A and B are shown apart, each in its own frame.
Chain A
Amino acid sequence: MGDAALAKSLLLALPLAFLAARALPARVPWIARALLGAAAGWAVAFVVALVVPPGQMAYLVSFAIVGSIYAVLALGLNVQWGYTGLFNIGIAAFFAIGAFTSALVTTSMPTGAAAAFSQQAFGLGAPFLAGVVAAGVAAGVLALLVGGPTLRLREDYLAIATIGIAELVRLVFQNERWLANGPQPLRGIPQPLACLVRDPGCGWLPPPLAALFDPLAPRDYPYVYLAIATLFVIVVYLVLERAIRSPWGRVLRAVREDEAAAAMAGKDVARVRLQAFVVGAVIMGLGGALYAHYMIAIDYTHFDALYATFLVWVMLMLGGSGNNRGAILGAFALWGVWTGAAFLVDLARPVLAAISSDLPARGPYLRLLFIALLMLFILLYRPKGLIGEERFVSRDSQGRDG
Chain B
Amino acid sequence: MERMTPKHVDDPTGIPADAPRPALLRVEGLTKSFGGLQAVNHCSFDVRAGSITALIGPNGAGKTTVFSLISGFLRPDRGRVVLDGEDLTGLLPHQVFRRGLCRTFQIPREHGSMTVLENLMLVPPDQLGERFWNPLLRPRAVRAQERAIREKALEVLDLLTLSHLRDEYAANLSGGQKKLLELARTLMADPRIVLLDEPAAGVNPSLMARIREKIVQLNAERGITFLLIEHDIPLVMGLCDPVIVLNQGTKLAEGPPAIVRGDPRVLEAYLGGQHGAVDG
Contact = CB atoms under 8 A, between A and B. Distances in A.
B113 interface: yes
15 contacts: A242-B136, A243-B135, A247-B135, A250-B122, A251-B122, A254-B114, A254-B122, A257-B110, A267-B94, A267-B122, A391-B167, A391-B169, A394-B118, A396-B150, A397-B117
Contacts of A246: 129, 134-135, 142, 146
Interface of A: 239, 242-243, 245-248, 250-251, 253-254, 257-258, 260-269, 275, 279, 389, 391-397, 399
Nearest to A402: B147
A280 to B, nearest CB: 12
A279 B135 CA distance: 15
B273 to A, nearest CB: 27
Pairs A-B, 6 closest by C-beta atoms? A247-B129, A246-B135, A266-B97, A257-B111, A263-B93, A246-B129
A262 B129 CA distance: 16
Contacts, number: 121
Contacts of A260: 73, 93, 105, 109
Interface string B130-168: 111011100100110011011000000000000000110
Given A260-B105, A266-B94, A266-B125, A253 B111 contact: yes
Interface in B102-116: 102-105, 109-115
A247 B130 contact: yes
A248 B114 contact: no
A399 B166 CA distance: 8
A265 B105 contact: no
Contacts of B105: 260-261, 264
Nearest to A400: B167
B239 interface: no
B71 interface: yes
Given A248-B132, A266-B94, A258 B109 contact: yes
B165 to A, nearest CB: 12
A239 B136 contact: yes
B98 interface: yes
A393 B118 contact: yes
A263 B92 contact: yes
B252 to A, nearest CB: 28
B31 to A, nearest CB: 22
Contacts of A250: 114, 118, 121-122
A147 to B, nearest CB: 15
B131 to A, nearest CB: 7
A262 B131 contact: no
A19 B233 CA distance: 62
A248 B143 contact: no
Given A260-B109, A279-B132, A391-B169, A247 B146 contact: yes
Contact of A264 (B103, B131, B142): B103
Interface residues of B, number: 47
Q: Chain A's interface: helix, strand, loop or mixed, by majority?
A: helix
Contacts of A269: 94
Contact of A397 (B104, B127, B150): B150
B128 interface: yes
B185 interface: yes
Given A250-B114, A399-B167, A266 B98 contact: yes
Interface in B79-101: 92-94, 97-98
Contacts of A267: 94, 122
Contacts of B189: 265-266
B123 interface: yes
Contacts of B128: 247
Contacts of A266: 94, 97-98, 123, 125, 189
Contacts of B115: 391-392, 397
A262 B105 CA distance: 12
Contact of B131 (A248, A257, A268, A394): A248
B97 A251 contact: no
Contacts of B104: 264
A107 to B, nearest CB: 31
Contacts of A262: 111, 122
Contacts of A251: 122, 130
Given A248-B129, A266-B98, A395 B113 contact: no
A85 to B, nearest CB: 11
B139 A242 contact: yes
A170 B274 CA distance: 60
Nearest to A278: B132
B122 A265 contact: yes
A389 to B, nearest CB: 7
A392 B167 contact: yes
B185 A265 contact: yes
Nearest to B144: A396
A242 B129 CA distance: 10
A269 B109 CA distance: 15
A263 B94 contact: yes
Contacts of A397: 115, 117-118, 121, 150
Contacts of A247: 121-122, 127-130, 135, 142, 146
Contacts of B94: 263, 266-269
Contact of B114 (A242, A257, A264, A395): A257
A173 to B, nearest CB: 30
B105 to A, nearest CB: 7
Nearest to B131: A248
B110 A261 contact: yes
Contacts of A268: 92, 94
Nearest to B195: A264
Contacts of B118: 250, 253, 393-394, 397
A75 to B, nearest CB: 15
A154 to B, nearest CB: 16
From A246, A269, A395, A399, name the one whose CB has the most chain B CB atoms within 10 angstroms.
A246
A264 B197 CA distance: 13
A258 B110 contact: yes
Contacts of A261: 105, 109-111, 185
B129 to A, nearest CB: 4
